[in-house]
């Protein structure tokens, strides 16, 4: 990602007036602003002319004349475009080095470092926490229905959910679903306590199981 200028659209007219005057003062002597700009960039004189027109109309619009205010708004749009254009010219001369823009009056958004790709191991070893609660319908717990929720793991392909009534042996666990969601409703038999666990799937590999949770179906 390359650096870019911070725009002026969020500034009030008074704030834009102060910001523009500050930029014009700085680019008079700033190293990157020296020399003639060539199309598609505007030169410094065009920037000054456009901004001065806005400044004059801003002062004249204090009498709340509708026509003058409309002209001021249009002049601001042109002044913004030319200020941004000249700022991009300076940024181009800086060859992406935002430190060279210091003292220009422009605000520059620096480039963000590219995100490091997440490895399969990072996905599989990410901690996953499971919770279970009764499904609430019209303010009351719904009979025979619960809601399972677990941690969303960035980069996961899917999740495997298992259930058992007796967690004492691995063979007792049964897979009840594979899902890409992190919230699922499960229906069971009333008055039965069941245990649940979940693990993440990335490609063809599975992560470790979460700590089991248990809940009594109503």
Q: Has this prediction a pTM greater than 0.85?
A: no
The arithmetic mean of pLDDT across residues 97-118, rounded, is: 85
Residues 91 and 136 grouped into a single domain: no
- The span from the CA of 218 to the CA of 215, in Å, is 9
Residue with tokens 């490895």: 119
The arithmetic mean of pLDDT across residues 141-165, rounded, is: 93
Asked if pLDDT for residue 214 goes beyond 90, the answer is yes
Question: For residue 62, which phi and psi values (nearest 5 degrees)?
Answer: -65, -20
Residue with tokens 């992406």: 96
Residues 162 and 188 grouped into a single domain: yes
**Helix runs in 10-127, H state only:** 13-27, 44-60, 66-93, 120-124
Q: Which two tokens stand for residue 48?
A: 């000054």
**Domain extent for 48:** 4-109
Residue 155 domain flag: yes
What are 192-208's pLDDT values in tens digits?
999 999 999 998 889 99
Tell me which of 109, 144, 170 is where a domain ends.
109
Asked if pLDDT for residue 118 goes beyond 80, the answer is no
- The span from the CA of 200 to the CA of 218, in Å, is 29
Q: What pLDDT score does 167 carry? A: 95
User: Which stretch of 72-76, 84-88, 111-115, 119-123 has the lowest confidence by average pLDDT?
Assistant: 111-115
Residue (of 167, 155, 166, 154) closest to 209 by Cα position: 167
Three-class DSSP category at 211? coil
Count of domains observed in the chain:
2
User: Are 27 and 104 spatial neighbours (Cβ–Cβ below 8 Å)?
Assistant: yes
Residues 96 and 179 grouped into a single domain: no
Q: What pLDDT score does 161 carry? A: 96
Average pLDDT, the chain: 92
Residues 151 and 173 grouped into a single domain: yes
Q: What pLDDT score does 104 carry? A: 95
Tell me which of 57, 87, 109 is where a domain ends.
109
Residue 115 domain flag: no
Give the gyration radius of the chain's Cα atoms: 31
Tell me which of 81, 109, 137 is where a domain ends.
109
- Model confidence at 1, pLDDT cuts 50, 70, 90, reads low
- The span from the CA of 97 to the CA of 95, in Å, is 6
Q: What is the CATH number of the domain that holds 127?
A: 2.60.40.10
Q: Which two tokens stand for residue 53?
A: 């027109």
Residue 114 domain flag: no
């Amino acid at each position: 990602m390359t650096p870019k200028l911070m725009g002026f659209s969020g500034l009030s007219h008074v704030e834009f007036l102060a910001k523009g005057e500050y930029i014009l003062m700085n680019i008079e002597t700033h190293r990157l602003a020296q020399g003639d700009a060539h199309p598609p960039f505007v030169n410094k004189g065009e920037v000054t002319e456009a901004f001065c027109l806005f400044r004059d109309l801003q002062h004249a619009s204090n009498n709340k004349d509708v026509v003058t205010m409309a002209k001021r708004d249009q002049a601001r749009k042109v002044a913004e475009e030319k200020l941004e254009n000249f700022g991009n010219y300076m940024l181009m001369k800086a060859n992406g080095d935002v430190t060279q823009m210091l003292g220009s009056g422009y605000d520059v958004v620096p480039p963000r470092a590219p995100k490091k790709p997440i490895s399969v191991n990072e996905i599989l070893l990410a901690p996953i926490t499971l919770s279970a609660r009764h499904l609430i319908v019209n303010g009351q717990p719904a009979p025979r229905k619960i809601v399972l929720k677990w941690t969303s793991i960035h980069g996961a392909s899917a999740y495997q959910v298992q259930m058992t009534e007796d967690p004492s042996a691995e063979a007792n666990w049964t897979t009840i679903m594979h899902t890409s969601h992190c919230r699922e409703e499960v229906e069971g038999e009333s008055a039965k306590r069941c245990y649940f666990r979940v693990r993440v799937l990335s490609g063809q590999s599975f992560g470790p199981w979460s700590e089991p949770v248990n809940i009594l179906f109503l």
